[in-house]
Amino acid sequence: MTTGKKIDLNTMIARNEEIIFSSLDEETVMMSIEKGLYYGLDKVGRRLWEMLETPCLVSDMCGRLVDEYDVSPEQCSSDVLVFLDRMIENSLVIVHK
């Protein structure tokens, strides 16, 4: 497993198992014990986090989101890749090999 690499639609992503999280209404609050920082996810971010309960391909995540939300495949892919890059930078998710 590696972190910090650029990802694409064929990248397998997984949760960082060291992250503590709790769901509140339509949001998810997460904490990195290692960094001592809190993070919050909105409804869509929470849905992505739920999808990562088991490692999955970015393309599969995008496919599900396109089915669930009113978003084009291109916009979804772009937004998800940016979001996951930020999650990787903050060690909340990892690239799974």
Average pLDDT along the chain:
90
Residues in the chain: 97
Element (H, E) at 82: helix 73-89
Angle at CA of residue 59, ends 76 and 88, nearest 5°? 80
Q: What is the model's pLDDT at position 4? A: 43
Amino acid occupying residue 72? S
Tally of CA atoms within 13 A in the half-sphere of 33 that contains its CB: 6
- What's the mean pLDDT in 3-19? 85
pLDDT for 33-51, tens place per residue?
Answer: 888 899 999 989 999 999 9
pLDDT(3) > 50: no
CATH of 12-95, one of 3.20.20.10, 3.40.50.720, 1.10.730.10, 3.90.930.60: 3.90.930.60
Distance CA 65, CA 86 (A): 18
